[in-house]
Structure 1
Amino acid sequence: MPLPGGPAALACPATARVASKRSSTGCENCREQHLKCDRVTPTCGRCLVAKRPCRRTGLKIRVTQTEYGVQQRWIKTPRRLEFVDETRSVIQEAQHPDGSGADLDEAECAWPMASSDGKTRAETADASKPRIYLDRPVWPLNKADEAGLFRHFVQELAIWLDLCDSQRSFETMVPRRAGTCPVLLNAILALAARHQSNKDSGFDELLANRYHQRCLRDLIPLLSHAATVKDENLFAATIILRVLEEMEVKTMGTDYKSYLSVTHAFVERASDSLVPGTLSAACFWVGLRQEIYKAMMGQTAVRMSLHHALADRSLADADDCTWANRAVVHCADVLNHCFGHQADRWAQRFQRWGELKRWNESWHERLPPSCLPIYCEEAEAEAGVEAGDGGPAFPEVWYHSSCHVIGMQHQLLAELFLTRVDPTVETAGSQATLSEEEESRMSLRTGWHHRLRELELVRRVCGIGVGNQWTPPGMFTACMAIAAFGDRFVERSDQEAMLDILKTTEKRHARPTEHVQELMKKSWGWIS
């Protein structure tokens, strides 16, 4: 299945700028590398970041409607036409004049396997299909700096992705497979280089771009073939590139979400291979959390398909990672209820809200004891904030596993949005036996109760993030809660504590939070 919107959808600009003039065509540098150009003149965004001259041809091509004369003669064709696709047979005849060519299928795009004559299937593959894998792994790497980037990914960044994966696929399986998959290897190096450059101003900021371009050079042609959009190693590369895309918001100024469309294509095409314990399943869970991040930051529905067996919504006994993933699916369901299906009638939405609310409560009630925090100290609402550490503004909650952190945070986020759209608030004072004054008083009391509950839930999400900074995504999730609900806080101590979380996340983990910081400061009245 080709990439939705075409493979060119991946070639997003390296920066976003407000331009007064745009060219009708892209620059030569972008055209030669098959990258999307923002067409800003005199220098496009990619050339500006790469610090290179922006070359333009000056050619202008205008398509005009051709008109044929009345004397134009046309070839006569029969009424019924039969089209015969001989592409594959022609290629095989060219490769095997003696007719020895074997039948080809989609499996040729899978991991190379030795044939009876000692050659790999990749060597005898259809020439119309690009090659994904090398015959031999690249180990050891020739350059120490590349090896350092690779190790940085394994030791520092894989934990971001393996949160609810007991097999730690991105720490163990993905690095091993990257040795024979250049697309996967370059994706790893690009992410590691961007993480380093965002944290260290002295690091080469263009190095990530070079690895990224190498990766796209190989990946974009592959996505035009249906068989390759089932390859789980390319799926993993896409997931890694989406993390890179999220981090590059600081450089580009906006989130283009290009790789989310590719993730959707992988999920649709590989739904039959989304089996627990596989790399495809691990990629799906990371992709779903990435989709939730996008949906929550943009107040939109989750677009990824959740209609398959891997999206477990049961409450039966299971391991801790499964419980966490159930909470993630539930959070996606709640976001879809809040921001999707707006055409549904009020009675349907009321019923659906009740179902989601009951599931949320049941998940919490049936949570295994192994998922409970190992330490918890509630915050004192009236206490001040200690400088720099978040202080007592948030409860202190410690967990011993990353899946417990992420599972509980997503369950709390789901409850937050259910509280925001609670239909009972609208009907709380609508009883015919109450006077107008009593109805107003009851509605106000119910609304105030919900507001206090929202503040309590946000504080808890933040407290879990601050108390478990050994797993950075806990802080990322806290930033999501602040972005969605931080404007509801009026106490200066709460605002400073949340701002500290945003700043710490950007400083320590190179996750861009400047935009959210500015939004919060405006909503709190700190700046105009």
Structure 2
Amino acid sequence: MKTVFCMTQYPSTGTTRPVSSPAKAPEVEVIQSRVSADRNSVGVVDFPEGPQSSLSSPGVYIEPESNHLSSPATPEVVSPEGLDQLSWPLESRFEASLLKYFLTTLSPWFDYCDPQQHFRTYIGNAAPTDITLLYAVLAVSARHQSSSLHRHSHIADEYQKRCLRSLIAALNDEANALKDTILASAVILRFFEEMTEPPEESIRTHTLSAQLLLRIREGHVYRSSFTDAAFLVVLRSETYVANMTQRPIGNLVDHCNIDTSLGPASEGMWALRAIAHAAKATDFAYGDDDDAASSKARWESLMQYVDDWERLCPPSFQPMYARPQISASNPFPHMWYANDYHVAARQHIELARVLLLASNAQSCLARIRQRRMGQSNDECIRDSVRIICGVCMSNPEFVPAQISAGLVIAICGELFDDPTETKILFQVLSDAESHLGWPCLKAKEYLRGLWHL
């Protein structure tokens, strides 16, 4: 088992999730356990403005009216159970506000590096006629508000329960190919699960692992451009969670329809190659490989890919403007990019570099010798972390870039001790955790203590 020397598993990250092969994925089931008694209050409908209220850029949809509610089952809030379809237009202003919240606030995270905006477009068109998909959207919107704004937690659980009833039946029906709406619902509820805290006291499922989604893709899903978009979302999510829980991803990249060669391709494909390579570097960093020679050869191949990607990618992947630091008080590099896939590519290539440098298959004596000669990998890792964070701070319009920055700070923050840098890194991490709303994967408090902030 290779150990990534600069990574720390934080007590708050929860239990590492094991990886199983798609063929061994269990039949879909749902396990419901109690919800903690301290989450009884149901919030109000109005959403306060501010940078920590959403994943999207400023100008998110804000529901202006407040509506104090005493129960998640109140008819004005949650539609009656047992419906095959909700009326359209939606009769509940609250449910309409949750759908709007997803389209304007959460969909940019799903549609990152997707110029076709599959999730926003598809869900906007399909939600009126598919109650499973609509309940998934309402669930994740209510859960995100619960995580970031501390409201609607019980309502989110109710929507998730209703979505799973029809979703599970469809997932277990191997006689019929699954519609895109089922795959979309499963991907959205995976996002929902990561926002659920505390994990052991909330509604849990075995339905939405990446391995089960692979099983769906391999045999029972219509192929479409939306399928590819959905699996890219899963790949990005898995890369984040796997690094925070220090486990490999598995062979998810093989099922994402990404050309991982370095031949001529569209700019979008070059970005997907970088994302896929970060996933492969994650597998190497946390995977088992007892053969030293094989491990060394694989490490060299993965690092060579990073160098070759840098050398062969289109010129547009270079920043349109760059300076050594953002300002006199901010020492991180200033780098402007034109598109979200340029930002994502740069961050993921640097993430791959960080993981490979941190898991370089060298003897302990070789590491000590490097440090004595001033050639330690630590400074190279810090440089990549600075680039990832500089890209995030220089391009605030691409909000998902905060998540990549928060991730690399969480796993490499211990390598920084300069107060000027740590204060800025802590703010970037805080913003990322607030926007993402995945409380079970937070590292902020650990680094606050380490940096004495």
Q: TM-score, normalised by structure 2?
A: 0.77
- Distance of 1:426 and 1:494 partners within structure 2: 29
- Distance of 2:23 and 2:172 partners within structure 1: 5
Classify 1:479/1:226 alpha carbon distance in 2 versus 1 (closer, same or farther; 3 Å): same
Q: Which residue of 2 aligns with 1:4?
A: 25
Classify 1:273/1:334 alpha carbon distance in 2 versus 1 (closer, same or farther; 3 Å): farther
Q: Which residue of 2 aligns with 1:354?
A: 300
1:154 aligns with 2:175: no
Asked whether the 8 Å contact 2:333–2:387 carries over to 1, the reply is yes
- Distance of 2:89 and 2:167 partners within structure 1: 23
1:240 aligns with 2:188: yes
Note the C-alpha offset of 1:426. Answer: 5.6
What one-letter code is carried by the residue in structure 2 that aligns with 1:233?
T
1:497 aligns with 2:445: no
Asked whether the 8 Å contact 2:413–2:447 carries over to 1, the reply is yes
- Identical counterparts, % of pairs: 27
The correspondence of residues 333-482 of structure 1 with structure 2, limited to 5 A, is 333-343=280-290, 345-379=291-325, 385=329, 392-423=330-361, 444-445=372-373, 447-448=375-376, 450-482=377-409
Asked whether the 8 Å contact 2:410–2:429 carries over to 1, the reply is no
Which one is further off, 507-516 or 211-220? 507-516
1:184 aligns with 2:133: yes
Note the C-alpha offset of 1:287. Answer: 0.5
The correspondence of residues 56-95 of structure 1 with structure 2, limited to 5 A, is none
Pairwise CA RMSD: 3.2
Note the C-alpha offset of 1:505. Answer: 2.6
- Distance of 1:414 and 1:351 partners within structure 2: 16
- Distance of 1:513 and 1:410 partners within structure 2: 23
Q: Which residue of 1 aligns with 2:211?
A: 264
Note the C-alpha offset of 1:181. Answer: 1.6
1:174 aligns with 2:101: no
Classify 1:508/1:352 alpha carbon distance in 2 versus 1 (closer, same or farther; 3 Å): closer
Q: Highest relative contact order (Cα 8 Å, sep 6+), 1 or 2? A: 2
Q: Deviations over 1:168-219 (max 9, x none)?
A: 1001012212222211111111111222333434x44432222122112222
- Distance of 1:5 and 1:338 partners within structure 2: 27
- Distance of 1:355 and 1:496 partners within structure 2: 36
- Distance of 1:254 and 1:370 partners within structure 2: 47
* SS of residue in 2 equivalent to 1:292: helix
Classify 1:334/1:218 alpha carbon distance in 2 versus 1 (closer, same or farther; 3 Å): same
The correspondence of residues 210-221 of structure 1 with structure 2, limited to 5 A, is 210-221=158-169
Asked whether the 8 Å contact 2:334–2:394 carries over to 1, the reply is yes
- Distance of 2:202 and 2:338 partners within structure 1: 33
Classify 1:238/1:492 alpha carbon distance in 2 versus 1 (closer, same or farther; 3 Å): same
Classify 1:204/1:340 alpha carbon distance in 2 versus 1 (closer, same or farther; 3 Å): closer
What one-letter code is carried by the residue in structure 2 that aligns with 1:140?
P
- Distance of 1:266 and 1:515 partners within structure 2: 25
* SS of residue in 2 equivalent to 1:139: coil
What one-letter code is carried by the residue in structure 2 that aligns with 1:152?
Y
Unaligned stretches of 5+ residues in structure 1? 12-35, 38-43, 53-132, 386-391, 430-439
Q: Which residue of 2 aligns with 1:125?
A: none
* SS of residue in 1 equivalent to 2:417: coil
Q: Deviations over 1:292-336 (max 9, x none)?
A: 111110111113433347132111122222111111111111111
Note the C-alpha offset of 1:281. Answer: 0.7
Q: Which residue of 2 aligns with 1:436?
A: none
Asked whether the 8 Å contact 1:274–1:281 carries over to 2, the reply is no
Note the C-alpha offset of 1:351. Answer: 0.7
- Distance of 1:171 and 1:327 partners within structure 2: 24
Classify 1:227/1:160 alpha carbon distance in 2 versus 1 (closer, same or farther; 3 Å): farther
Number of positions where the alignment pairs a residue of Structure 1 with one of Structure 2: 392
Asked whether the 8 Å contact 2:281–2:356 carries over to 1, the reply is yes
Asked whether the 8 Å contact 1:242–1:259 carries over to 2, the reply is no
- Distance of 1:462 and 1:442 partners within structure 2: 26
Q: TM-score, normalised by structure 1?
A: 0.67
